[in-house]
């Protein structure tokens, strides 16, 4: 094994090792949020009014984190319960692009300004993306 | 800094355990499942970091995904974000390394936004929402990711 390769391994191990407390912290935080908040909560909070639900969808999606599959299933359930496509879309988009639970980790790893700005812009974008997507779908 | 964050989370667990220990057990079980699921992605990222550290020098990073790469870097950010696996926070160390090597925040923002589009779970998405909706949302999200990248590149020099 040459020296450059050893250096590459050492530097990668160091980088991941330094990130380990952040990753463990985020996983523990995501788990406690998932256990604390029952899935039925999502259904109760929507208002069935398009504009307000759009905002609620983005806000809920931003607060909770987890596998995108969970957001699809929840989104499917919300649609079945009569929640509008606009709100469900903003919920799904915010779920995967905004992450308040993992924000502390993002701040530590990628910088405060970047992390906060990225999450704020992604929150606004979740509303815009939902509006544009549903408008296109309605006009197809 | 990272260690303080973990201590804070552990303190939250300790406080909750004083009131409801069962909740902590459920949460730890949930965490174990997450760790089990993210292990392959963690190994993949480790291998990627070694490859980048060994084969790709700062000049090459710049030519491939740095500002001098032009339009090519946006294609890398979009495709890289889509094909990358595992949760978003696993990619932070690699992105931090790339940022140190001169990759822009715009590239990172576009990459992270495209992490929302996951080809392997697309069939499930289509099952719930239909193919028409899936295709439209995917295209709109890719465009939104590029706009987000451009915004970051435009403001980068003013805020960093």
Which DSSP string do the residues of chain B spell out, in sequence order? Answer: -HHHHHHHHHHHHHHHHHH-HHHHHHHHHHHHHHHHHHHHHHHHHHHHHHHHHHH--HHHHHHHHSGGGTTHHHHHHHHHHHH--S-GGGGHHHHHHHHHTT--HHHHHHHHHHTT--GGGHHHHHHHH-HHHHHHHHHHHHHHHHHHHHHHHHHHHHH-
| pLDDT band at B18; cut points 50, 70, 90 | very high
User: How many other C-beta atoms can be found within 10 angstroms of the C-beta atom of residue B72?
Assistant: 13
Residue A1 has pLDDT above 70, yes or no: no
Q: Model-level pTM?
A: 0.83
CB A97 within 8 A of CB A120: no
- Which residues 74-113 of chain A have a CB within 8 Å of chain B? 75-76, 79, 85, 89, 93, 96-97, 99, 102, 104-106, 108-111, 113
Taking CB atoms and an 8 Å limit, are B89 and A129 in contact across chains? no
- Taking the C-alpha atoms of residue B95 and residue A115, their distance in angstroms, rounded to an integer, is 12
Q: How far apart are the first and last CA of chain A?
A: 59
Residue A3 has pLDDT above 70, yes or no: yes
| Percent residues over pLDDT 70 in chain B | 98
| pLDDT band at A110; cut points 50, 70, 90 | very high
| pLDDT band at B160; cut points 50, 70, 90 | low
- Which residues 11-70 of chain B have a CB within 8 Å of chain A? 12-13, 16, 23, 26-28, 30-31, 34-35, 38, 42, 45-46, 49-50, 53-54
**How many Å lie between the alpha carbon of A118 and the closest alpha carbon of chain B?**
7
Chain B residues whose beta carbon lies within 8 Å of the beta carbon of residue A23: 89-90
Q: pLDDT, tens digit, for every residue of B135-155? A: 999 999 999 999 999 999 998
Q: What is the mean pLDDT of chain B?
A: 88
Q: pLDDT, tens digit, for every residue of A11-60? A: 889 888 888 888 899 889 888 988 888 777 777 888 767 788 999 999 98
- Taking the C-alpha atoms of residue A72 and residue A82, their distance in angstroms, rounded to an integer, is 15
- Which residues 78-137 of chain B have a CB within 8 Å of chain A? 87-90, 92-97, 99, 105, 108-109, 112-113, 115-116, 118, 121, 124-125, 128-129, 132-133, 136-137
Length of chain B: 160
At a CB cut-off of 8 Å and minimum separation 6, what does A115 contact?
A103, A106, A107
Residue B110 has pLDDT above 90, yes or no: yes
Which of B34-43, B74-83, B86-95, B144-153 is modeled with the greatest confidence? B144-153
Residue A134 has pLDDT above 70, yes or no: yes
CB A93 within 8 A of CB B141: yes
pLDDT higher at A92 or B123 = A92
Per-residue pLDDT, A58 = 94
pLDDT higher at B27 or B51 = B27
Q: pLDDT, tens digit, for every residue of B60-69? A: 777 778 877 7
- Taking the C-alpha atoms of residue B62 and residue B18, their distance in angstroms, rounded to an integer, is 52
Q: pLDDT, tens digit, for every residue of A46-72? A: 876 778 899 999 998 998 766 777 788
CB B153 within 8 A of CB A118: no
Handedness of CA B111, B115, B117, B123 (dihedral sign): positive
Taking CB atoms and an 8 Å limit, are B89 and A104 in contact across chains? no
- Taking the C-alpha atoms of residue B102 and residue A107, their distance in angstroms, rounded to an integer, is 19
Q: What was the ipTM of the complex prediction? A: 0.83
- Which residues 44-63 of chain A have a CB within 8 Å of chain B? none
| pLDDT band at B13; cut points 50, 70, 90 | very high
Q: How many domains, in total, are found in chain A?
A: 1
Chain A residues whose beta carbon lies within 8 Å of the beta carbon of residue B9: 25, 28-29
**How many Å lie between the alpha carbon of A94 and the closest alpha carbon of chain B?**
9
- The residue range of the domain holding A13 is 3-139
Residue B43 has pLDDT above 80, yes or no: yes
Residue B116 φ then ψ, to 5°: -75, -25
Per-residue pLDDT, B123 = 84
> How would you class B41 by CB atoms within 10 Å of its CB: exposed for 0-12, middle for 13-18, buried for 19 or more?
middle
Taking CB atoms and an 8 Å limit, are B133 and A133 in contact across chains? yes
- CB nearest A102 (choices: B34, B89, B151): B89
Per-residue pLDDT, A127 = 96
Q: For residue A78, give the chain B residue with the closest CA.
A: B128
Residue A71: closest CA among A48, A53, A97 = A97
Chain A residues whose beta carbon lies within 8 Å of the beta carbon of residue B38: 27
| Average pLDDT over every residue of A76-92 | 89
Residue B118: closest CA among A129, A67, A103 = A67
């Amino acid at each position: 094994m040459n020296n450059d390769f050893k250096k590459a391994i050492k530097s990668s191990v160091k980088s991941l090792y330094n990130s380990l407390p952040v990753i463990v912290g985020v996983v523990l935080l995501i788990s406690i949020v998932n256990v604390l908040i029952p899935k039925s909560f999502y259904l109760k909070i929507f208002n069935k009014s398009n504009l307000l639900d759009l905002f609620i969808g983005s806000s809920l999606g931003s607060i909770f984190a987890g596998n995108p599959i969970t957001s699809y299933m929840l989104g499917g359930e919300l649609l079945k319960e009569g929640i509008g496509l606009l709100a469900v879309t903003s919920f799904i988009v915010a779920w995967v692009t905004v992450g308040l639970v993992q924000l502390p980790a993002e701040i530590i790893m990628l910088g405060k300004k970047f992390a906060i700005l990225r999450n704020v812009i992604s929150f606004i974008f979740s509303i815009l993306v939902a509006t544009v997507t549903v408008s296109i779908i309605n006009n197809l | 800094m990272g260690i303080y964050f973990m201590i804070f989370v552990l303190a939250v667990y300790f406080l909750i355990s004083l009131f409801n220990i069962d909740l902590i057990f459920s949460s730890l079980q949930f965490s174990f499942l997450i760790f089990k699921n993210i292990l392959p992605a963690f190994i993949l990222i480790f291998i990627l970091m070694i490859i980048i550290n060994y084969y790709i020098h700062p000049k090459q990073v710049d030519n491939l995904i740095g500002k001098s790469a032009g339009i090519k870097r946006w294609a890398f950010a979009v495709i890289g974000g889509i094909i990358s696996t595992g949760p978003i926070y696993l990619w932070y160390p690699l992105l931090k390394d790339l940022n140190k090597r001169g990759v822009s925040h715009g590239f990172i923002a576009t990459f992270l936004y495209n992490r929302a589009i996951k080809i392997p779970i697309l069939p499930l998405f289509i099952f719930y929402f239909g193919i028409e909706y899936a295709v439209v949302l995917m295209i709109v999200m890719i465009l939104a990711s590029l706009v987000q990248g451009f915004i970051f590149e435009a403001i980068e020099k003013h805020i960093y």
